[in-house]
Amino acid sequence: MKSLFIGISQLTRDDSGQDLLEYAMLVALISLVSVVAVTNSGKAINTIFTSVATQLQAAAQAAGA
CA–CA dist 65, 59 (Å, integer)? 10
pLDDT tens track for 19-61: 888 899 999 999 999 999 999 999 999 999 999 999 999 999 9
What's the sign of the alpha-carbon dihedral 31, 32, 33, 36? Answer: positive
CA–CA dist 18, 39 (Å, integer)? 32
Residue 18's identity, in one-letter code, is Q
Specify the pLDDT at position 64. Answer: 81
Specify the pLDDT at position 17. Answer: 67
| Buried/exposed code over 44-64 (b: 16+ C-beta within 10 A; e: otherwise) | eeeeeeeeeeeeeeeeeeeee
Question: Whole-model pTM above 0.75?
Answer: no
Look at residue 14 and tell me whether its pLDDT is greater than 70.
no
